[in-house]
Structure 1
Amino acid sequence: MEKPAELQAANYDLVARDTKSVGAYVKSGAPYVWVTAAAISVAFIITVALLLLTAARGLPHFWPADLVQATYKEPGKEQQHLLAEIRSSEEVTTARLLNAGLPVDEKQPLYDRLLLKIANRDLGGVDFRYVLSDWLVERSQPKDATVLERMEWGNFHGFVVALKEGDKVVASGEEAWKGYQERQDRVNDLRGKVRDIEKGKIGAVNYDLERLRLQQRRLELDGKTPERNAADFAAIEAKRKSENEKYEVLRTELDQLNAEMGRDALVMKTVDGQEVTLPLSKLIQGYRPNDMGLFPKIGFFLGAIWHFVSEEPREANTEGGIFPAIFGTVMMVMIMSVIVTPFGILAALYLREYAKQGPLTQAIRIAVNNLAGVPSIVFGMFGLGFFVYFVGANIDKALYQEGLPSPTFGTPGILWASLTLALLTLPVVIVATEEGLARIPRSIREASLALGATKAETLWKVVLPMASPAMMTGLILAIARAAGEVAPLMLVGVVKLAPSLPLDGNVPFVHFERKFMHLGFHIYDVGFQSPNVEAARPLVYATAFLLVLVILLLNLSAIRIRNKLRERYKALEH
């Protein structure tokens, strides 16, 4: 049935008056929706831009860039021959160059300055150098220009001359390059066996010998002597002898492998004509970027990234990989999550379900909220003073007297770091869990009690399952904050280079007392403590990008669990 004309006119008139009134538009809430959407969009754009920036600055480090052979002719100085990788380019004013003492033309307003990676740090003292593009002449990209990645001293740039086996030359020129690839693979296989023996088998022997030493020390502290307790000391001595025999066998095998690794060498010639003999045992890989196509370069790029995330660092953390830092970060976050979740949930349960709501409870809530605003370095000082020097020292006195004066738990380690960050993130879990408990209707609690359930059963089987998504939200926020913290960790367990992981094959397998590496501290160390700034800069961006990905992966895992819990208990809310 059609509405009367008078009623339709009234409706149109009403809409016109509401849209013309600014106050009515504001009261409708629409502006706040748009402002919120704009803020979220800006935050999302900034986040994506940050990720793209770190990726753009860090990932090109792993790309096999072409080598440029050129002559550098600086006025008033002897010309130099260079074989280098162009890392970056920037425009510099003439005034700035004149202040630096360079003989540039004052009539030219700008110069293009290049950052070159010339490598060969053991020969020239530096592996990066700034040059002016105008003075870098006679450029070419020779196909046989070779890059060698070394165990130390960084990369080597040059041309292959010969391949030697012992003192005998087995190939020269292009044949030497072809033979090098096969022999380098052989050396890398031997290096893997050496690493397994040193880190695995010999490490296990040393670990067992240290445990035997501590067992003997324990017997001495208990007042036992070799004369009165000969059987106990004889058993320890027999085990020690067995371990020493194992070590001698492994040492012999290790010496043989090292001798086989040192058999071959590669003779290289630098761009200025100097010949250098490089043992293959000191090399990791070699490649010719100017002779590589697109797909081989992509394959090399992906392989370099894999090595970066799976290997240990070298050269003061400016070379190699960051696997120990990734492992330490993930393990610390997991231990922290296991600790903070139950304590946060129990505290929220007490404040919301058991505590009498009054001034005292309100004061506790205010204290919890204020705790979230305490600087993280304060938590680090507390962790060092309480967990390390008080709790850890007393644990050593009670359980590890045989190890004193060398501390076991009375020194910074991954357990104390996890506990410190658990305290740091505890307010987040408490607040999120309490908000989740407050959302559950009182009628659901009353219905459970009316059916004969006790209060504890109601909380355990009804309330907590329904509040579990809020608990996971608190855990997500805790993970996001803890994974990126650095300041407190510098006091309670993180180190520049950890000799071993907190998790290995030696009993008890998980070593909570060990120090560990962390991605956040690795970024700080490489960025501000590295002796080779130019080599470290791209690694800072690459590590930062990886840290964001690790945090994102941890959060996505927690979000997935939260969504499953939310769907599972969604029907109970209606």
Structure 2
Amino acid sequence: MKKDSLTNWIKSGSPWIWMNAGAVSIAVIMTLGLLAVIAVRGMAHFWPADVIVADYQVPGSEPRLLAGERVQAEQVPRARLAASGLPVAAEGGEFMTRELLKVGNREVYGADFTWVVGEWLSNERTPRNIVVLERREWGNFYGELLNVKEGDNLVAEGEAAWDELQRRIARIDQLHGQISHLEKVDIGRINHGLERLRLKTRKLELEQRLDAAAQAELDAERAEWDAEYKTLEGRLASLYQDFNRDSIGVRTLDGRELEISLGKVVRAYQPNAMSVPQKLGFYGAKIWEFVSDEPREANTEGGIFPAIFGTVLMTIIMAVIVTPFGVIAAVYLREYAKQGVLTRIIRIAVNNLAGVPSIVYGVFGLGFFVYVLGGSLDRIFYPEAAPAPVFGTPGLMWASLTLAILTLPVVIVATEEGLARIPRMIREGSLALGATKSETLWKVVLPMASPAMMTGLILAVARAAGEVAPLMLVGVVKLAPSLPLNGNYPYLHLDQKIMHLGFHIYDVGFQSPNVEAARPLVYATALLLVLVIATLNLSAVVIRNHLREKYKALDH
């Protein structure tokens, strides 16, 4: 009886349902677990960790004072530490603790991080007066605040120095914003105008139309630019003078005194004296800086906004390019092409293109788009820029086109499947009512197939936004803080190189000179890339569902 029940249960298909449900559950749990690990390791980087101060004594040497943030701790075999040259005693347990401390003060110690043996640390404490200075260069500084100076004049010292320091850092932030706007927007506009004027002069020379009248007009325009530049240069010099006016006196925990210009300080805080609400406010400010600011310190500090902007803009341009081409190809194959051997060969070729390694597309983009097509555009339309290339070099347009070619098979296949699902009677009914084939296609068939087109677009965006290998060849660089979309004509600069979140992860994780400092940013940037892709896909899913509901009645 039990055997018959088991047989009937297997024949009912229930085991396969449970196996599929289990597989899906495992996949979901693993995905959520991976995201949780990335989120914890990445987002914990922005929390203001306590700074510990401890005595560190290596056996056989004098004790010294260490101060820094505890980054990680691990258990290592005693024999391994002894093999590394440390004076580890033979007796004792099999394992010892090795800890990584972020000690900062790169100009003093030469490195931001140091490994220590946990058993050799003693007398650990967290003094409330420890100050952390986050700087634009040279990483963090850990120590004590002595005084605040304005030029050579002492403004405050002792306990009064902290409040004065916060006020002057706020002033420095305002000046930095003014300087940044002046350099990137105002002076950038003048430099762009002067470059266009130079190219215009060169073009007139090549066309042999640079007569006295034209030269006089060009000289007058150049004089206007120069006059405006001198005015801005004076304002910039005045701002820099105020920017570099203040300084602070600080002291490391081992007694070394330094003077640091406040122009190099981003923020100052005392993590050991901060309450939980203060730490939460600091945490939010750091996350906002990460998503809205520009990178610094070889991309290991600051924000990644240029990479976010470049990723989103390139993906949008790719979607605008690939959608019409993919839809047209699918319409031709399904609606117009004679179904035969040639059509089957084309479909096989399209399916095979979907499996080509992405780096091959990058090589194709570099060879055809950049060198052949871009070089031809430069010779025809931009001869005055020679020998400097305009479109004959990797840039935003070629990166977008390369990704469009890479994702084209996905859009073609998805759209063709959507067209195939539309009942033949709908086409015949439209034709019977007097509509032409093209009217039937544009007003009936394509609207009903639009959810399938959006599905193809979703798959294309998901693949393109995470690609790295081809972009390294056709337009993505390590650092490009100026955005390709600005107020200078033609506003969208398709020839400009961009930053990308995927390449930023590769660069920070594997090419950074400070690997320990870069590691948390790899996790944070990876999480942000997932969120960007999810946002783009979610937007497309909402549009697809709206279209599906709109044409559901026609489908039935």
**Counterpart for residue 143 of structure 1:** 128
Report the CA distance between 1:20 and its aligned residue: 2.3
**Counterpart for residue 347 of structure 1:** 329
**Counterpart for residue 7 of structure 1:** none
Report the CA distance between 1:103 and its aligned residue: 1.6
Q: Which amino acid aligns with 1:352?
A: R
**Which one of 365, 384, 394 corresponds to residue 402 of structure 1?**
384
The alignment status of 1:52 with 2:42, answered yes or no, reads no
**Which one of 440, 457, 480 corresponds to residue 498 of structure 1?**
480
The alignment status of 1:183 with 2:168, answered yes or no, reads yes
More moved, 28-37 vs 288-297: 28-37
Identity among equivalent pairs (%): 60
**Which one of 467, 471, 476 corresponds to residue 449 of structure 2?**
467
**1:228-239 superposed matches below 5 A:** 229-239=211-221
**Counterpart for residue 84 of structure 1:** 68
**Which one of 399, 409, 413 corresponds to residue 395 of structure 2?**
413
Report the CA distance between 1:30 and its aligned residue: 3.1
Show CA shifts across 1:432-451 (max 9, x none): 11111111111111111111
Work out whether residues 51 and 69 of structure 2, in 8 Å CA contact, stay in contact via their aligned partners in 1. Answer: yes
Show CA shifts across 1:99-140 (max 9, x none): 111122322211111110000011110010111111111111
Report the CA distance between 1:28 and its aligned residue: 3.7
For 1:515 and 1:130, how far apart are their aligned partners in 2? 39
Q: Which amino acid aligns with 1:567?
A: E
**Counterpart for residue 215 of structure 1:** 200
Show CA shifts across 1:464-515 (max 9, x none): 1111111101000000000000000000000001152111110010000000
Runs of 5+ unmatched residues, structure 1: 1-15
**Which one of 18, 23, 34 corresponds to residue 34 of structure 1?**
18
**Counterpart for residue 11 of structure 1:** none
For 2:162 and 2:513, how far apart are their aligned partners in 1? 33
**Counterpart for residue 153 of structure 1:** 138
Q: CA RMSD in A?
A: 1.3
Show CA shifts across 1:15-72 (max 9, x none): x8996263x5445443333332222222211211111111111111100000001111
The alignment status of 1:93 with 2:77, answered yes or no, reads yes
Work out whether residues 112 and 132 of structure 1, in 8 Å CA contact, stay in contact via their aligned partners in 2. Answer: yes
Show CA shifts across 1:353-380 (max 9, x none): 1111111111110000000000000000
**Which one of 228, 243, 248 corresponds to residue 266 of structure 1?**
248
**Which one of 352, 361, 364 corresponds to residue 370 of structure 1?**
352
Higher Cα radius of gyration: 1
For 1:223 and 1:168, how far apart are their aligned partners in 2? 62
The alignment status of 1:170 with 2:161, answered yes or no, reads no
**Counterpart for residue 390 of structure 1:** 372
3-state secondary structure, aligned to 2:330: helix
The alignment status of 1:245 with 2:227, answered yes or no, reads yes
Work out whether residues 494 and 516 of structure 1, in 8 Å CA contact, stay in contact via their aligned partners in 2. Answer: yes
For 1:369 and 1:514, how far apart are their aligned partners in 2? 33
**Counterpart for residue 527 of structure 1:** 509
3-state secondary structure, aligned to 1:224: coil
**Counterpart for residue 197 of structure 1:** 182
Quickly say closer, same or farther: Cα 1:275–1:35, change in 2 above 3 A.
Answer: same
**1:552-563 superposed matches below 5 A:** 552-563=534-545
**Counterpart for residue 4 of structure 1:** none
Work out whether residues 418 and 453 of structure 2, in 8 Å CA contact, stay in contact via their aligned partners in 1. Answer: yes
3-state secondary structure, aligned to 1:171: strand
For 1:549 and 1:54, how far apart are their aligned partners in 2? 12
For 2:405 and 2:17, how far apart are their aligned partners in 1? 36
For 1:19 and 1:259, how far apart are their aligned partners in 2? 91
Work out whether residues 394 and 474 of structure 2, in 8 Å CA contact, stay in contact via their aligned partners in 1. Answer: yes
Report the CA distance between 1:78 and its aligned residue: 2.3
3-state secondary structure, aligned to 1:278: strand
Work out whether residues 294 and 481 of structure 2, in 8 Å CA contact, stay in contact via their aligned partners in 1. Answer: no
Show CA shifts across 1:244-303 (max 9, x none): 111111110001011111111111110011111111111010000000011110110011
Work out whether residues 308 and 323 of structure 1, in 8 Å CA contact, stay in contact via their aligned partners in 2. Answer: yes
For 1:509 and 1:216, how far apart are their aligned partners in 2? 22
The alignment status of 1:550 with 2:535, answered yes or no, reads no
Show CA shifts across 1:493-549 (max 9, x none): 000011521111100100000000000000000011101010010011111010001
Quickly say closer, same or farther: Cα 1:150–1:67, change in 2 above 3 A.
Answer: same
For 2:82 and 2:150, how far apart are their aligned partners in 1? 52
For 1:19 and 1:490, how far apart are their aligned partners in 2? 62
**Counterpart for residue 117 of structure 1:** 102
For 2:75 and 2:392, how far apart are their aligned partners in 1? 54
For 2:409 and 2:146, how far apart are their aligned partners in 1? 65
For 2:555 and 2:320, how far apart are their aligned partners in 1? 28
3-state secondary structure, aligned to 2:159: helix
Report the CA distance between 1:84 and its aligned residue: 0.6
Q: Which amino acid aligns with 1:204?
A: R
Show CA shifts across 1:380-405 (max 9, x none): 00000100000100001110010011
For 2:150 and 2:125, how far apart are their aligned partners in 1? 32
**Which one of 264, 268, 277 corresponds to residue 286 of structure 1?**
268
Quickly say closer, same or farther: Cα 1:95–1:448, change in 2 above 3 A.
Answer: same
**Counterpart for residue 70 of structure 1:** 54
For 1:29 and 1:405, how far apart are their aligned partners in 2? 70
3-state secondary structure, aligned to 1:139: strand
Report the CA distance between 1:80 and its aligned residue: 1.5
For 1:487 and 1:86, how far apart are their aligned partners in 2? 35
Work out whether residues 18 and 25 of structure 1, in 8 Å CA contact, stay in contact via their aligned partners in 2. Answer: no
Report how many residues are paired. Answer: 555
For 2:390 and 2:10, how far apart are their aligned partners in 1? 64
For 1:360 and 1:507, how far apart are their aligned partners in 2? 46
For 2:2 and 2:179, how far apart are their aligned partners in 1? 84
For 1:391 and 1:40, how far apart are their aligned partners in 2? 46
Work out whether residues 121 and 127 of structure 1, in 8 Å CA contact, stay in contact via their aligned partners in 2. Answer: yes
**Counterpart for residue 3 of structure 1:** none
Q: Which amino acid aligns with 2:433?
A: L
For 2:16 and 2:382, how far apart are their aligned partners in 1? 61
Quickly say closer, same or farther: Cα 1:27–1:463, change in 2 above 3 A.
Answer: farther
The alignment status of 1:255 with 2:240, answered yes or no, reads no
Q: Which amino acid aligns with 2:50?
A: D
Work out whether residues 107 and 138 of structure 2, in 8 Å CA contact, stay in contact via their aligned partners in 1. Answer: yes
For 2:6 and 2:301, how far apart are their aligned partners in 1? 65
Runs of 5+ unmatched residues, structure 2: none
The alignment status of 1:509 with 2:523, answered yes or no, reads no
**Counterpart for residue 570 of structure 1:** 552
Work out whether residues 148 and 161 of structure 2, in 8 Å CA contact, stay in contact via their aligned partners in 1. Answer: yes
